[in-house]
Amino acid sequence: MVAILRRTALLSLVCHCSTTNVRQSAAFLLRPVVIEGVIVVVPSSSLSSSSSSSSSLLSSIRRRFRFYPDHPSSFSPRKSVIMASSSATAASSFSSSEEEEETIIIDAPYGAWESPITSEVVSSKNVKLGPVYFHDGEVYWLEGRPSEGGRNVLCRAAAAAAAAAGGGGGGGTTSAATATDVTPPGSNVRTRVHEYGGGAVVFGGAKTPSSSSGGGIYYSEFVTQQICRLDGTPVTAVAPDDENDGGSGGGGGGGRSRYRYADGVLTKDGGTMYCVREDHANPNPRDVVNELVSIDVCDGSTRTIASGRDFYSSPRLSRDDTKLAYVAWDHPNMPWDTTELRIIIDLPSSSSSSSSSYDPDTNGHVLVAGGNDESVMQPTWHPIADELYYLSDASGYYNIYVAGRASSVLPMSVDFGGSSPGWTFGRGGYVFLDDGRLVSSYEGDEGSILVVADVVVVDGSSGDDGTTTTTTMTTIDNVREYRGGEEETTGLPSIFSGIVPGVGGDIYFLGGSPGSPTCVYAWNVDRDDDDDRVTMPPAARVLARSSSISDAFPDDVISVPRRVVFPTTLGNAYGYHYPPRNGRYVCTSDASPPLLVKAHGGPTSCANRSFNAGIQYWTSRGFAVLDVDYGGSTGYGRDYRRRLRGSWGIVDVDDVCNGATYLVERGLADVDRLCIDGGSAGGYTTLCALAFRDVFRAGTSLYGIGDLTALAGDTHKFESRYLDGLVGPYPEDERVYRERSPIESVDTLSCPILLLQGAEDEVVPPNQAVMMHEALLRKGIPTCLKIYEGEQHGFRKAENIRDALDSELAFYGKVFGIKIPGAIDAGGYTTLCALAFRDVFRAGTSLYGIGDLTALAGDTHKFESRYLDGLVGPYPEDERVYRERSPIESVDTLSCPILLLQGAEDEVVPPNQAVMMHEALLRKGIPTCLKIYEGEQHGFRKAENIRDALDSELAFYGKWGDADCSR
């Protein structure tokens, strides 16, 4: 351990240690050494007389601080550093007098650090926030709550908190008293359109006396997929009951739901809703129908407004409700490939008598922009000029355009579309304030940048021929930028997105930083100019927090990432490096830490720099993490985004491997302890990296793709042709599909793989994980598969998030030989006792261990036949004690899985001990597995049995007791 003390406390500490039992162990004999003006007290056995050894030790200590030279906890020669071995006994015997500033720092291997950021903390103390809404003077947001089965809840801030966007300092937060759950208990606000959802809440109109809980507010209920009014009253006849039989239970997908709805907008009178509808009358992906519909919210009557394309999104009403803009596209395009922006000029009302003559064919609607390999999205009408704005990547970046103009009104070499545009409904990269000003944001190298611009409205402008037109036009002027993270100037968090306008200059958004969790913020864009002196807006105010982790733990437990740019096949790629960090630990035994490389999903998406408790779970234990924005990621312009065209499984794999190598070359990662994980598309990249490259030693695929050919015909409609652009058309390019499928290259695999999967996943069906698991078992590769009931694409339930994290940690611990804190590695009897009599461990393995002391007392070899007399007591005189301490007598208190490994010819602990324990566990219904090795005595000596025992235990911990015992 290392203790940072003042010099006045040093002498008494050394003297104290020299007179205690600590000195009896050579490991704890302390020797003070002065190095560069720093007093270092170390175990004598770890020091030679050479100054080079001393300098090497000091360098090891400094490694803990090298990533944060400016951090207040960084190493300082003015501090006295005390180092001893990692013994709790030694720690408890240390005492010091006089003035003392003691911080015990334990010297332990990377990966073996004990962390306060447990899986339970990650799953139970976090909610997923967003999107944010502003309606009728109040701020709302969605909370995804793992502790409540992953359901989404619509919440509302107190009016006083929402109104304080521009007043006072920052740092405030809502509490249970000032934030209210708006949706009914048990409800789940989530739509399954495109499976990824979004746009599940619709606001419009004001509250009425008869509906004081919200008035014109509607949401999609996950179980039934019906649209419900906020007061809980279903919008009747939106879908007949026999076609929308959603079943019951808030966590799962329920029963059959023919219609799904998303991305709605209400007319100003609140009577008609326009939205996307997805018809699953025939659930085959190629038969699912997407269209735009209007719904009379009073009688539930529905009419098709736009049809004929494979996909629709973003229906947006003009200021006078007479025009409707929307985005449409066809297979094989995705929304970031080629889309069209169209307008319905003469929009019929839901009760219009002209409905019989209205033609919903999209081809008959006015084409504004898009097509020809151009992606357009996020249309928005200007609130004063009623001009149609939108995003387009025609310039090479998602810039802001106005209908009818060829050039961007705000040309910049940045993407304004947000982090992952196109995946979910309801996202916006820019908004308008009620006075017409434009507000947007983009990502810079160091954080987010807010853009505020005046929009000048020109009425009755002169034409080129001298005539006066009646067209209202806008121009952009007075563009200002505010950088996030500059508290002294802007008061903005370092990272923010999802901006929504309030009243006046108020805006609301999601924000945070790499070291602080995502919050709902309020801020005011207005500032005063007075004689060239600029008064900046007050700091952004926190309305809600996604996590209390950063408040509960000290800063020196939180790892702050640094952006890295590294060379790769097609130029440079990008990532965020999180060094291991835990103020209670230092590692002098390892030159570099194990590295977990993370491959994000999508693949047309990006890594998120905001606070991620799941990443801090790893770094606080001594792992380094690299979150890679491989080629194909968003946020770097169109050319970078299109690097994956036809090259998925190649470019992304090159980049994650080159990123890991880049850190290894700089001494920031251990080349022998590189691992990788990823979810969905990131799971595919993970499996490809393990199958086609020799860089990583282990990996975890979370709901990932192992067989591209199977996925081509077995996924949902939205992504059913996604692979055409990433790999090639199928079945024409079937050979390429097979070449890039990890399941086809199992023969090149040699490292352990953990597979985690949701049972109800319709994006990447469970058969992908099952087939991969079976192929790995046939090859004899250590592997384990866990399928979580009630989970879809991504894990939302707290117990499953917790189990997935702990399983992956235990998995890498076994692969790399890291003794994970909290994992038991004692004698078989101690193991069984710890599992039976304590509620600490979640699984255990007893190797030729003792379950019944009474049976052992009369059934072991001569040498140890009376051993128990001293350990327990004489038998049979103390038979009661023997039974009380026998795990087999306390099976009723057991609840966790147990693996039993036994030698058939063991005469020290005979096989009947394992057999009896196994039978008792089976009777109790506890997951258990017994393996008896022929030809083995007390301890395994045959190579094939040692190998099988290790692989079985690895699979068991990864699968928490559901290991395949047939091998």
Q: Which of 345, 341, 306, 308 is nearest to 326 (CA)?
A: 341
Mean pLDDT to the nearest integer, 596-610: 93
DSSP state of 348: P
Which is higher by pLDDT, 165 or 296? 296
| pLDDT-derived band at 536, boundaries 50, 70, 90 | low
Note the residue count of the chain.
967
Given this model, what pLDDT does residue 892 score? 85
Peptide bond before 332: cis, by omega within 30 degrees of 0? yes
Label residue 947 by pLDDT band (50, 70, 90).
confident
Average pLDDT value for residue range 727-739: 96
**pLDDT for 35 beyond 50:** no
The reported pLDDT for the residue numbered 546 is: 86
Q: At what angle do helices 681-692 and 651-665 cross, to 10 degrees?
A: 70
As given in the structure block, the two tokens for residue 258 are 């023919």
Mean pLDDT of 67-87: 33
Q: What angle do CA 890, 894, 896 make, to 5 degrees?
A: 155
pTM value? 0.75
pLDDT in tens, 874-917: 888 888 888 999 999 988 888 889 999 999 988 888 899 899 99
Q: Give the residue among 148, 130, 152, 149 at the shortest CA–CA distance from 140.
A: 130
Are 498 and 596 within 8 A, CB to CB? Answer: no
Residues 6+ apart with CB under 8 A from 493: 448, 484, 485, 511, 512, 513, 516, 519, 521, 540
**Range from 355-369, 703-717, 859-873 carrying the lowest mean pLDDT:** 859-873
- The first and second tokens of residue 671, run together, are 């080349």
Whether the predicted pLDDT of 47 surpasses 50: no
Which CA distances in Å does 115 have to 111, 461, 670, 767? 10, 66, 21, 35
Q: What residue ranges in 267-374 does DSSP mark as E strands?
A: 272-279, 289-296, 302-306, 311-317, 324-329, 340-344, 366-370
Question: Could you tell me whether strands 571-578 and 562-568 are parallel, antiparallel, or unpaired per DSSP bridges?
Answer: antiparallel
Helix (H) or strand (E) segment spanning residue 686: helix 681-692
Mean pLDDT, range 5-18, rounded to an integer = 30
How many angstroms separate the CA atoms of 58 and 40, rounded?
Answer: 8
Q: Is 220 helix (H, G, I), strand (E, B) or coil?
A: strand
Q: In the predicted model, is pLDDT for residue 176 greater than 70?
A: no
**Selected residue with higher pLDDT from 15 and 694:** 694
For the chain, percent of residues with pLDDT exceeding 70: 77
Across 532-561, average pLDDT: 75
The pLDDT score that the predictor gives to residue 33 is 44
DSSP string, 17-56: HHTSGGGGSGGG-EEEEEETTEEEEEEGGG--SSHHHHHH
Q: Which pLDDT score, from 0 to 100, does residue 550 have?
A: 61
- pLDDT tier at 243 (50, 70, 90 boundaries)? low
Structure confidence at residue 845 as a pLDDT band (50, 70, 90): very high
What pLDDT, on a 0 to 100 scale, did the predictor assign at position 55? 53
pLDDT digits (tens, 9 = 90+) for 547-591: 776 666 788 999 999 999 999 999 999 999 999 999 999 999 999
Position 839 scores a pLDDT of 83
Q: Which of 488-492, 657-661, 802-806, 819-823 has the lowest mean pLDDT?
A: 819-823
The answer to whether residue 240 scores a pLDDT higher than 70 is no
Q: How far apart are CA 502 and CA 135, in angstroms?
A: 8
Q: What is the pLDDT of residue 124?
A: 73
Q: What is the DSSP letter of 221?
A: B
pLDDT at 505 over 70: yes
Cα-based distances in Å from 553 to 494, 723, 962:
20, 43, 35
| DSSP secondary structure string for all residues of 459-498 | -S-B-TTS-B----EEEEEEEEEEETT-TTTT---SEEEE
pLDDT confidence tier of residue 821, bands split at 50, 70 and 90 = confident
